[in-house]
Amino acid sequence: MKPFDFVQPATIDQAFEVWTPGSDWLAGGTNLVDLMKTGARLPDKLIDITRLPGLSAIETLPDGATRIGALVRNADLADDLAFVRRFPMVAEALLSGASGQLRNVATVAGNLMQSTRCAWFQDPNAACNRRAAGTGCDAQGSAEDNLALLGWSEGCIATNPSDFCVPLVALDAVVEVRGRNGERDIPLAAFHRLPGDAPHRETALEPGDLILAVRLPASATAFAANARYLKVRDRTSFAFATASASAALTFDGPRIAEARLAVGAVAARPWRVAEAEALLNGQAPDPDLFDRAAAAALAGARPSARNAWKIDLARRTAVRALTLAAAGTPARLPAFPASVFGGPDREPAHV
């Protein structure tokens, strides 16, 4: 591992004082430290932010919004019963990610900042425009099939690996950021960038920016009774999604009043399409309606060398997520959160 400086500031102000170009913020380190071990990430300085005050609370704000501090652990958020009742599909997504041990360490902000699991990004000997601008993209035309379907460019075909971010995008989450010029909000829908001709710019953050919190609007709680996250993966535990979807509905009698739908593991950011949601609004739920909405969500999808099958998988995942959401949020999270093997007929493991 490349030698680096290690600093532990006591306040946010001190953290900005010690930040210099080439620095990385360190929280749980579940992704960053792995990348440092392989040589895919080579910071000159690590700034440990785990001691910074004011970043570890889950709060309800005066306007009814929910504010989640950047250092809140994934496990703690998924175990907060008040949060689970308000945002069940977010909890379901959190519990479907990584392992219990990693969720005990991983943080909310770190989840937002996860790097792609593309094999060529992870390998410092491979050409990767995301890791080293202008070097090329060895993933293009490769035999790898779990690559992007939407929003990719000749410069990068990687996908975003986060489970957590998919329901957050569907619920209009906002990221609170502090930079060298003060604080600002970034809608999560605009937080992760599509690669275009600058794949190395993965997010809307500027150098030195620090995530303070994630905020969910009060209006997002309206979906609690009919909200689900579904994840299709190679194995039920500790695997990244091949396709995933968050679906949330409100009803006016027998008809859908408002719909939210976001698809994961298909692009460099969680994929939400307003036209797909508009198809659902005002309609009575049925399989054909859900199929049309899912097709609209995947409109424009184009495969690379070997992953045409993934378009149909993503569409079916979205349909099933909508079907589960229409059936209602279970009183308890299923034994296998977000899994195709989970369901209300199975014994719950999490209350």
Q: Please report whether residue 22 resides in a domain.
A: yes
Phi, psi of 136 (to 5 degrees): 105, 180
Q: Please report whether residue 33 resides in a domain.
A: yes
Q: Please report whether residue 25 resides in a domain.
A: yes
Q: Please report whether residue 321 resides in a domain.
A: yes
Q: For 242-273, what is each residue's pLDDT tens digit?
A: 999 999 999 999 999 999 999 999 999 999 99
pLDDT for residue 343: 54
Task: Kindly state the percentage of the chain with pLDDT values over 90.
Answer: 88
Q: Please report whether residue 101 resides in a domain.
A: no
Alpha-carbon distances, residue 46 vs 50, 72, 111 (angstroms) = 12, 20, 18
Q: Please report whether residue 309 resides in a domain.
A: yes
DSSP conformation class of 188: G
pTM, to two decimals: 0.95
Q: For 130-183, what is each residue's pLDDT tens digit?
A: 999 999 999 998 888 889 999 999 999 999 999 999 999 999 999 999 998 899
| Number of C-beta neighbours around residue 193 at 10 A | 17
Contact status, residue 272 vs residue 262, Cβ threshold 8 Å: yes
Q: Please report whether residue 62 resides in a domain.
A: no
Domain count, the chain: 2
Show the domain range for 22.
5-51
> What CATH number should be reported for the domain holding residue 261?
3.30.390.50
Mean pLDDT of 220-234: 97
Q: For 175-209, what is each residue's pLDDT tens digit?
A: 999 998 899 999 999 999 999 999 999 999 999 99
Q: Please report whether residue 270 resides in a domain.
A: yes
CA 161/CA 132 separation, integer angstroms: 19
> What CATH number should be reported for the domain holding residue 9?
3.30.43.10
Q: Please enumerate in sequence order all residues whose Cβ is within 8 A of that of 33, keeping only pairs 6 or more positions apart, or say none.
A: none
CA 30/CA 236 separation, integer angstroms: 20
